[in-house]
Homo-oligomer: A and B are copies of this chain.
Amino acid sequence: MRFDTVTIKDIAKALNFSTSTVSRALRGSYEISEETKKIVLEYAEKINYRPNPVALSLKERRSRAIGVVVSEIANNFFSQAINGIESIAYNRGYHVIITQSHESEEREKVNVMHHASRSVDGLLISLSSGTVDLSYLKDLYEKGLPIVFFDRITDEINTHKVTANNYLGAFQATEHLIYQGFKKIAHLTSAPYLSITKERLQGYKEALEKHNIPFNEALVRHCNHGGMIADEVEEAVTSLFKSKTKPDAIFTAGDRITTVCFKILKDMKPKRDLGFAGFTNTKVGELFDPPMTVVRQPAFQIGQSATELLIQMIESKRPVTEFETKILDTELILRESSMKKEKE
């Protein structure tokens, strides 16, 4: 099945002009007589002519499309970030092509390569938790493909980056739990390579330190698939409660980890005064039982900033050499899940 469209050639033939005249008339070139312009435009309108963007892409070597690679769109943070990306891109005349890596390095690579060869004008990427080797990205970047990292960023490539203040978000959440009187705060987080993991772990550690609570490795668990695999989270939670130092509170880092962990805890029915706080952008945390204390990232704004920076790079005449790393503040939303019930 094919799909027939009207081309400049059709118009030219029908009107007995050359294709170049038609082309110029359509783009309102000053060298074409009003008369001709009118005839062409009216006819084009009548037969519903649309320029073929594929041909334009080939000619201009640009597509006015931005490629996006995230781990999962079924993740509140990412779907909100994508809305931010779209809001800017749309206004600037760019289209957005979204692909998912499902936390797999291989899948991520396939997606990136596809974007590159399908000539998107630039790439927005949040690295998958499985990604270790960035050399292919580096290659593309050095060949001139504009790339902006958001959320899960990397030191290995020198370009614009936009992320939340993961350090501070984690610090505040941990400190809040400490103020509530919790002493053995476990930390459930994603794969250790990820920037967000490191930053959040750091915030957690420093909050403990500030309050003279010794950091205990045994209270930290990594879920390398970022909560995508429930068993992994369950395993982590179970092992925490089986270990010598049973936690009296849990601080989770990562949208999926947070909700999955909350669910597991609910099923486990631990003693009612377990403290809980986690990074998540869900809009329904207050509906939970108990209402959940969350660290909320400015996902929409992160998407917007990253897109602005990317379009700036794309449209820059000369190679960009000065880069910025934008760090946006998170918001700690206090609810019952992190409140200490019984005074000791």
Interface residues of A (CB under 8 A from B): 1-5, 48, 50-55, 57-58, 61-63, 73-74, 76, 79-80, 82-83, 86, 95-100, 113-114, 116-119, 139-140, 143-146, 259, 262-263, 266, 282-284, 286-291, 313-314, 316, 319-320
Contacts and interface: CB of A to CB of B under 8 A. Distances in A.
A9 to B, nearest CB: 14
Given A74-B76, A98-B98, A113-B50, A287 B286 contact: no
A51 B117 contact: yes
Contacts of A55: 58
A290 B288 contact: no
23 contacts: A1-B144, A1-B313, A1-B320, A2-B61, A2-B62, A2-B144, A3-B140, A50-B117, A52-B58, A54-B58, A54-B119, A58-B58, A73-B73, A73-B79, A73-B82, A73-B83, A74-B76, A97-B98, A259-B283, A263-B284, A266-B287, A282-B284, A287-B289
When all copies of this chain in the complex are counted, the total is 2
A63 B73 contact: no
A139 B97 CA distance: 25
Contact of A3 (B76, B145, B287): B145
A316 B237 CA distance: 51
Instruction: List 6 tightest A-B contacts by C-beta distance, closest first.
Output: A289-B289, A74-B79, A3-B144, A54-B57, A50-B117, A98-B98
B118 A53 contact: yes
A53 to B, nearest CB: 5
A67 B261 CA distance: 35
Contacts of A146: 1
A291 to B, nearest CB: 8
B1 A143 contact: no
Contacts of A282: 284
A113 B282 CA distance: 33
Most chain B beta-carbon contacts within 10 A, residue among A48, A283, A290, A319: A283
Nearest to A48: B139
Contacts of A5: 117, 143
B117 A52 contact: yes
Contacts of A259: 283-284, 287
A63 B74 contact: no
A265 to B, nearest CB: 10
Contacts of A320: 1
Most chain B beta-carbon contacts within 10 A, residue among A74, A82, A143: A74
Most chain B beta-carbon contacts within 10 A, residue among A1, A73, A98, A117: A1
Given A1-B146, A99-B96, A118-B53, A286 B263 contact: yes
